[in-house]
């Protein structure tokens, strides 16, 4: 019996320790965070370089020695999603924050480039395609440039938030069989008390630091009776508390990879369903 009491005591202490750690984590990440100018500049520099590499790769102007070609020699199997860090281990330290950069690709057999583009253009319907999107609206469209507002629900790295993201999306068409888009956030506002009479939006850059800046690249090419899809997602968030970094970062990496995988799976499902319904 003493041994049983000892085991119960150990489990009680472990439970109390777990609760204490959870409280510390919540307290550490609950404090407001402000986006600093040097953090903003660091993201601009990182995103600009990533954009140049993506455009060169999508247009086929990057040599094999300087970077991966846009379309691999061996395509993924139909519906197979390959997700990976796009740089380092997917999370890059910058002054005052973290850049999250993930990439994924898949192949959708039996559909055309136009099928994929039709889903890409349908911004008013994104809430029915992507799980994190609560609501979506096309604000304007001029030529190949779109302005879009999306309300997103997200969580990761110990943070959670509902945010309104206004983005500018540009489409480019290198030839009749390929297209790519570059989406850049213009304004991100975190919301509080959503759905209540006290709902309000916080000033951009003065919030929990869940998402300060974002960019998304998508490349589509029709090949082998289907469409190869490649996506890259770049996001800027606050840094993690130093004492908790070893706990939070592995979770954030897993969520980053899962987010890209989920987006590609949901895009594939919608493109296939709409193509078959025509």
CA dist., res. 101 & res. 81, Å (int):
17
> What pLDDT is attached to residue 221?
95
Rounded distance, CA 58 to CA 179, Å?
8
The conformation of residue 276, written as its DSSP 8-state character, comes to H
Beta strands 213-222 and 206-207, pairing class: unpaired
Greater pLDDT, 23 or 136? 136
11 vs 7, 14, 19, 247, CA distance in Å?
Answer: 6, 5, 12, 21
pLDDT at 60: 80
The predicted structure's pLDDT at residue 252: 75
* pLDDT tens figures, 156-209: 655 678 999 999 999 999 999 999 999 999 999 999 999 899 999 999 999 999
At 200-237, the pLDDT tens digits run 999 999 999 989 999 999 999 999 999 999 999 999 99
pLDDT at 127: 96
Q: Which phi and psi (to 5°) does residue 250 adopt? A: -60, -35
Q: SS3 of 199, please?
A: coil
**Nearest CA to 187 among 209, 211, 222?**
211
According to the model, what pLDDT value does residue 121 have? 98
Q: What pLDDT shows up at residue 33? A: 83
Q: How confident is the model at residue 25 (pLDDT cuts 50, 70, 90)?
A: very low
Per residue in 39-94, pLDDT tens?
Answer: 999 999 999 999 999 999 998 854 444 445 567 777 889 989 999 999 989 999 99
Structure confidence by residue, pLDDT tens digits, 4-19: 444 445 544 533 443 3
Please list the alpha-helical segments (H only) found in 31-96: 37-58
Q: Is the backbone of residue 196 left (phi > 0), alpha (psi -120 to 50) or beta?
A: beta
Mean pLDDT of the chain: 85
pLDDT of residue 22: 40
Alpha-carbon span 187 to 210, nearest angstrom: 14
Which DSSP category does 45 fall into? H
Structure tokens at 50: 């990533």
Spell out where the chain has E strands: 33-34, 82-85, 91-94, 97-109, 133-142, 145-156, 159-175, 178-192, 200-201, 206-207, 213-222, 226-237
């Amino acid at each position: 019996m003493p041994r049983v009491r000892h085991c119960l005591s150990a489990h009680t202490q472990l439970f109390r320790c777990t609760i204490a750690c959870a409280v510390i984590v919540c307290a550490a990440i609950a404090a407001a965070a402000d986006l600093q100018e040097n953090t903003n500049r660091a993201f601009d520099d990182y995103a600009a370089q990533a954009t140049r590499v993506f455009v060169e790769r999508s247009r086929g102007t990057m040599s094999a020695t300087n970077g991966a070609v846009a379309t691999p020699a061996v395509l993924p199997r139909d519906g197979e999603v390959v997700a990976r860090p796009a740089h380092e281990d997917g999370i890059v330290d910058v002054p005052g924050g973290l850049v999250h950069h993930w990439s994924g690709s898949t192949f959708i057999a039996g559909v055309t480039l136009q099928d994929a583009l039709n889903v890409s253009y349908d911004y008013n319907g994104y809430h029915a395609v992507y799980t994190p999107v609560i609501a979506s609206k096309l604000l304007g469209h001029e030529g190949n440039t779109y302005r879009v507002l999306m309300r997103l629900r997200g969580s990761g790295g110990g943070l959670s938030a509902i945010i309104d993201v206004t983005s500018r999306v540009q489409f480019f068409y290198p030839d009749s069989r390929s297209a790519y888009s570059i989406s850049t956030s213009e304004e991100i506002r975190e919301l509080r008390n959503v759905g209540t009479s006290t709902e309000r939006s916080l000033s951009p850059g003065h919030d929990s630091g869940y998402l300060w800046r974002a960019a998304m690249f998508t490349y589509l090419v029709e090949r082998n009776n289907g469409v190869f899809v490649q996506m890259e997602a770049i996001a800027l968030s606050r840094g993690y508390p130093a004492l908790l970094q070893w706990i939070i970062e592995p979770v954030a990496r897993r969520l980053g990879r899962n987010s890209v995988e989920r987006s590609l799976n949901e895009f594939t499902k919608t493109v296939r369903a709409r193509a078959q319904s025509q």
